[in-house]
Amino acid sequence: MKRSSALLSVLVVLAVLLSACGAAATPAPATQAPVTQPPVPTATEAPTIVPTPAPLVLKYASSANITTWDPIASFSTEAAYMANMYEQLLRVNAPGSAEQYTPLLATSWDKSADGLTWTFHLRPNVKFHDGEAMNAAAVVKSIEAEKDHAGASFIWLPLASVEAVDDMTVKFTLSYAQPLELILGSEYAAYIVSPKALDAAAANKDYWSTGVDAGTGPYMLESYKADQEIILTKNPDYWGGWQDGQYNKVSVQIVPEATTRQQMLESGDADIVTTIPGDSYATFATNPDFTVSTEPALFNYTAFFNTTKKPLSDVKVRQALSYAFPYDDIIKIGASGRGTQSHGTAPNGVFPYSADVKQYTYDIEKAKQLLKDAGHPGGGFKLNMTYASENSTEEAFAPLIKDSFAQIGVDVTIQPMQFTEQWALAKADPAKAQDIFLLLYWPTYSDAGGDNMYSMFYGAKDAPHLNVTNFNLSYWYDKDYNDLWDTANGLSGTDLAASLAKYTEAQNLMVDQAPAAFLFDTKVAIVTPNKITGFKYNLNYPDVRFWFYDLRAPK
């Protein structure tokens, strides 16, 4: 008896504890408080309640996580927030805009005839969030830091020196002509950072990790809970000024699951989202509260052939296979119709894209014929194709490629892998690597000649897969292509038209040799609630879906 009653009392105590910590069976009588009331009424007589106006909060469910708060090192998804906190000297406008560039921290600039000397005039009376003045010295310090150790420091390779001519003028000297505006407007490694912060960071390597903000932009970092939420608040002294209807705060919830973001958007838990599952946009298109717009993006999909392995070492085989990709279905099913078949490797809307670069059509008969010509009548070989398991688009269209190749007698094994695994496989030994590598790519800044055409296809004669920036996943080397590229790239700093012509020639050669199949240039779908206005997608900043400063809240 005694033991059992003791046990019972233990259970009773447990039950009480549980009810304190867990769900109460009935909630305490809820006061019908309107949401704007201050939380705790303290006085015993009825207090006079002055409703504090709720701040205008933008709720953002974002897939973009923070890998670093360091604006110099930043080379990843955190650009989504950095671009609202920091500014470059200028911004590259979306294709089709009236002006090519928007002046930000620089108001005007000019360059010498040989394209090697550039002079930038800075915007006066701009302060960093920590109170420091933005001037030529600050710009020089930032650029030098970027060239030295930025995540994307390679964009500064052409820079020979940068110096402050006077307090508001900066001179850039290049060692070879390059389109400097494109580099200065880059999403990475181009922000102007407070010199005080740079000094502090140099002294303390953990300076940025707590979430520090040293920019000039319209929003400042208020609080940060790692992996969960970021709160930004407006910079009241922003040089661009503020109007009615702009958001005071941005509440970002980091949600890696696309499906959950979709649900939050639908239920109103989020005002804006980065992306939702690709096949869900159609549902929102018919929803009267939302608008789905489709814009060209600078991402494209490429299927690299491992040119070191038989039978892919034979260009005829590669050309044959290029006719066997169901390009339209891939776009329709893989990307829900949001894309256009690629013309080479420069995406639509990015220099040096040209519609004059040829494409392969989807022609099974031609594919069969070419295979026969190459000595493989009826196919009869196996290929192993890898794709990034995190990428739902690749996951969706990989089976289409498999089905289509089966029609010409080529047996494809689809192997989903974590991107890093896929990458490790490709970089190890080409002889053991995959036969086909599906890759989603985008240039670091808006020059696909300097980036895509070089990074993915400019091979080195020995060990072609070990060139500088590593994306030569077909291990291809063609001297003529390299020579054409050299010429084109040399011209890009001075004569864009001539450069474009040479790049196009190079791309045509490349497409002909088919080291890869150029699947499609993506279009990005953006779903926005109709109640919020001011959206404008800029494909030059792929990680930045929303410029919070431009948005206007519902009336």
Partner 1 sequence: MAAIPIITPVESENTRTLRHVFSMILREPLSLLSTAVIMLFILMAVFAYQMAPFPEEGAGKTHASNTLLSPSAEHWLGTDKLGRDILSRIIVGARPALIIPIGVVLFAVLIGAPLGALAGYKGGWLDEVIMRITDLFLAFPSLLLAMAIASALGRGLDKAAIALIVSWWPWYTRIARGVAVGLRERYFVEAAQASGVSDAIIIFRHILPNTLSPILVQATVDMGTVILAMGGLAFLGLGTQPPSPDWGLMVSEGRGFILDQWWIATFPGIAIFVVVLAFNLVGDTLRDIFDPRQYK
Partner 2 sequence: MQKLEFFLRRIATSILVLIGVSVITFFIARVVPANPAALYIGPKARQEDINRVTKQLGLDKPLPVQYLVYMQELLHGDLGTSISTKRPITEELTGRIPATLELLFSGMFIAILLGVPLGVLSARAQGEPLDVAVRILSIAGVSMPAFFLGLILQIIFFRNLHLLPLAGRVDSNLRFTNPLTEITNFILFDSFVTSNWVTFKDAFLHLLLPSLTLAAYPLGLIARMTRAAMLETLEQDYIRTAQAYGINQTIIIYLYALKNAISPTLTVIGLTVAFALTGTFFVEIIFNWPGLGLFTVRSLLNVDYPAIMGMTLFGSMGYVLINLIVDLLQAWVDPRISLK
Q: Which is nearer to partner 1, 414 or 553 (CB)?
A: 414
Stretch that binds partner 2, among 234-242, 353-361, 421-429, 513-521 (CB under 8 A): 421-429
Rounded CA separation 216/239 (Å) = 9
Rounded CA separation 351/511 (Å) = 17
413: its two tokens: 């094994």
By CB under 8 A, residue 384 contacts partner 1: no
Stretch that binds partner 1, among 263-271, 380-388, 478-486, 514-522 (CB under 8 A): 263-271
Over the window 71 to 90, marking each residue x when it contacts partner 2 by CB under 8 A and - when it does not, the resulting string is ----xx--------------
Helices (H) and strands (E) in the chain, counts: 15, 17
Q: Which is nearer to partner 1, 255 or 317 (CB)?
A: 255
Strand order in the sheet with 290-305: 339-341, 516-529, 290-305, 436-441, 381-388, 410-417
Stretch that binds partner 1, among 132-140, 317-325, 346-354, 395-403 (CB under 8 A): 395-403
Over the window 319 to 338, marking each residue x when it contacts partner 1 by CB under 8 A and - when it does not, the resulting string is ----------x--xx-----
Task: Give CA separation, 174 vs 157, 163, 207, 495, in Å.
Answer: 9, 12, 32, 16
By CB under 8 A, residue 263 contacts partner 1: yes
Backbone angles phi, psi at 98, to 5 degrees: -65, -50
Residue with tokens 């305490």: 28
Over the window 525 to 544, marking each residue x when it contacts partner 2 by CB under 8 A and - when it does not, the resulting string is --------------------
Rounded CA separation 430/277 (Å) = 34
By CB under 8 A, residue 547 contacts partner 2: no
By CB under 8 A, residue 417 contacts partner 1: yes
Among residues 340, 400, 406, 310, which one has the least CA distance to residue 367? 406
Of positions 12, 16, 49, 55, contacts partner 2 by CB under 8 A: 55
By CB under 8 A, residue 269 contacts partner 2: yes
By CB under 8 A, residue 472 contacts partner 2: no
By CB under 8 A, residue 173 contacts partner 2: no
> Per DSSP, which regions of 25-158 are E strands?
57-62, 90-92, 101-103, 106-111, 117-122
Of positions 427, 429, 432, 460, contacts partner 2 by CB under 8 A: 427
By CB under 8 A, residue 274 contacts partner 2: no
Rounded CA separation 262/441 (Å) = 25
- Binding residues among 4-23 for partner 2 as defined by CB under 8 A: 4, 7-8, 11, 18-23
**Which option in partner 2, partner 1, none does residue 262 bind, with CB closer than 5 to 8 A by kind?**
partner 1
By CB under 8 A, residue 276 contacts partner 1: yes
Are the C-beta atoms of 156 and 174 separated by less than 8 Å?
Answer: no
Neighbours of 462 (CB within 10 A): 7
Give strand pairing partners of 62. 254
By CB under 8 A, residue 257 contacts partner 2: yes
Are the C-beta atoms of 520 and 327 separated by less than 8 Å?
Answer: yes
Rounded CA separation 506/488 (Å) = 9
The amino acid at 364:
I
By CB under 8 A, residue 33 contacts partner 2: yes
Q: 339-341 and 516-529: which strand pairing?
A: antiparallel
Over the window 209 to 228, marking each residue x when it contacts partner 2 by CB under 8 A and - when it does not, the resulting string is -----------------xxx
State in angstroms the smallest separation of the CB of 282 from partner 1: 7
Q: DSSP readout, 319-380?
A: HHHHTTS-HHHIIIIISTT-EEE-STTSPTTSTT--TTS------HHHHHHHHHHTT-TT--
Among residues 350, 198, 336, 214, which one has the least CA distance to residue 279? 336
Stretch that binds partner 1, among 224-232, 276-284, 347-355, 515-523 (CB under 8 A): 276-284
Q: Which is nearer to partner 1, 397 or 454 (CB)?
A: 397
**Which option in partner 2, partner 1, none does residue 416 bind, with CB closer than 5 to 8 A by kind?**
partner 1
**Which option in partner 1, partner 2, none does residue 332 bind, with CB closer than 5 to 8 A by kind?**
partner 1
Rounded CA separation 407/225 (Å) = 52
Among residues 92, 156, 88, which one has the least CA distance to residue 123? 88
Stretch that binds partner 1, among 49-57, 215-223, 388-396, 438-446 (CB under 8 A): 388-396
- Residues shown for the chain: 555
- Binding residues among 358-397 for partner 2 as defined by CB under 8 A: none
- Binding residues among 220-259 for partner 1 as defined by CB under 8 A: 258-259
Q: What is the CA radius of gyration of the chain?
A: 28
Q: Which is nearer to partner 2, 23 or 46 (CB)?
A: 23
Neighbours of 359 (CB within 10 A): 13
**Which option in partner 1, partner 2, none does residue 203 bind, with CB closer than 5 to 8 A by kind?**
none
By CB under 8 A, residue 35 contacts partner 2: yes
Over the window 420 to 439, marking each residue x when it contacts partner 1 by CB under 8 A and - when it does not, the resulting string is -x------------------
Of positions 103, 245, 409, 416, contacts partner 1 by CB under 8 A: 416
Rounded CA separation 174/483 (Å) = 22
Contacts with partner 2 by CB under 8 A lie at 3-4, 7-8, 11, 18-24, 27-28, 30-31, 33, 35-37, 39-40, 54-55, 57, 59, 65, 67, 75-76, 226-229, 249, 251, 253, 255-257, 260, 263-264, 267, 269, 417-421, 423-424, 427, 466, 469-470
Contacts with partner 1 by CB under 8 A lie at 258-259, 262-263, 266-267, 276-277, 279-280, 282-283, 329, 332-333, 389, 395-396, 399-400, 403, 416-417, 421
